[in-house]
């Protein structure tokens, strides 16, 4: 029988205790933790290959539980603290020109670790004060071009919401312009509603069972001359 070297019968991601105890790892935010974990999942999906060429889109991070506004700051934080590296910068836009970022995990061991060994960039941070300063500076370091594009997209969406939309369906009498709205019994001042058009009203003829509204005149006896 072939004995396994470990007892884990599924895919796993190895993290050294040295990294877990490092100041850089201890100051990571929740969003940065999720960014690193999602890239590790991508590496496992590639069978441990292609580290440095791992495509993860913004929608992938959002589906993993990161808020839309927290994706970019979390990526900058994880990269500044030395756990990931963005090898190719992606871009948004139309589907023909859209490209995702390509990531490299500095601590991961894969099938191509011999040719591209882990660099462990997080080891360069020695103290908690240094790690906190790097983390805060990375999250606040917004790209000027990204901010400009985000404001332009927000302006387009705002103008799109202000445009009048066509009303589906036919207009009722109360929706037409220039036609006065009549008061009903529940919304009016207590008086009975009246029809909009008098020409449409017809008096109902009394039936045989109903007495006529006009009382018959009494017959006078014929005078005898």
pLDDT band at 194 (very low <50, low <70, confident <90, very high): very low
Q: What is the mean pLDDT of the chain?
A: 77
Domains held by the chain: number: 1
Instruction: Examine residue 221 and state whether it is found in any structural domain, yes or no.
Output: no
As a whole number of angstroms, the distance between CA 125 and CA 101 comes to: 25
Strand partners for 104: 85
Q: Provide the sign of the torsion angle of the four alpha carbons 205, 210, 213, 215, taken in this order.
A: positive
- N- to C-terminal Cα separation, the chain: 145
Residues 6+ apart with CB under 8 A from 60: 38, 42
The predicted model gives 86-101 an average pLDDT of 82
| Three-point CA angle 130, 131, 135, nearest 5° | 120
Structure-model confidence comparison of residues 115 and 89, the more confident one: 89
For residue 152, give both structure tokens.
């332009």
Q: Is 225 exposed, middle or buried (0-12, 13-18, 19+ CB in 10 A)?
A: exposed
pLDDT at 142 over 60: yes
Instruction: Examine residue 23 and state whether it is found in any structural domain, yes or no.
Output: no
42: containing domain: 29-142
Instruction: Examine residue 176 and state whether it is found in any structural domain, yes or no.
Output: no
Reduced to 3 states (helix: H, G, I; strand: E, B; else coil), residue 91 is: strand
Instruction: Examine residue 152 and state whether it is found in any structural domain, yes or no.
Output: no
Which pLDDT score is estimated for 97? 74
- Give yes or no for a contact between 158 and 150, defined as CB atoms under 8 angstroms apart: no
**How many Cα atoms occupy the beta-carbon half-sphere of 159 within 13 Å?**
5
As a whole number of angstroms, the distance between CA 225 and CA 223 comes to: 6
Instruction: Examine residue 104 and state whether it is found in any structural domain, yes or no.
Output: yes
């Amino acid at each position: 029988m072939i004995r396994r070297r470990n007892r884990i019968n599924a895919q796993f991601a190895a993290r050294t205790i040295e990294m877990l105890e490092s100041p850089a790892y201890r100051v990571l935010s929740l969003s940065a933790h999720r960014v690193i974990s999602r890239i590790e999942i991508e590496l496992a999906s590639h069978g441990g290959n292609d580290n440095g060429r791992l495509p993860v889109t913004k929608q992938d991070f959002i589906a993993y539980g990161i808020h839309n506004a927290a994706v970019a700051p979390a990526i900058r934080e994880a990269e500044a603290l030395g756990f990931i590296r963005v090898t190719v910068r992606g871009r948004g836009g139309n589907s023909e020109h859209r490209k995702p970022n390509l990531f490299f995990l500095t601590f991961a061991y894969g099938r191509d670790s011999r040719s591209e060994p882990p660099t462990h960039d997080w080891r360069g941070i020695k103290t908690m004060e240094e790690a906190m300063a790097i983390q805060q500076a990375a999250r606040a370091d917004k790209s000027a071009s990204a901010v400009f594009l985000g404001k332009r997209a927000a302006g387009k969406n705002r103008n799109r919401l202000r445009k009048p939309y066509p009303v589906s369906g036919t207009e009722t009498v109360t929706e037409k312009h220039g036609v006065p709205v009549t008061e009903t019994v529940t919304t009016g001042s207590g008086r009975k509603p009246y029809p909009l058009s008098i020409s449409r009203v017809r008096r109902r003829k009394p039936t045989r069972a109903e007495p006529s509204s006009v009382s018959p005149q009494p017959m006078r006896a014929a005078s005898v001359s």
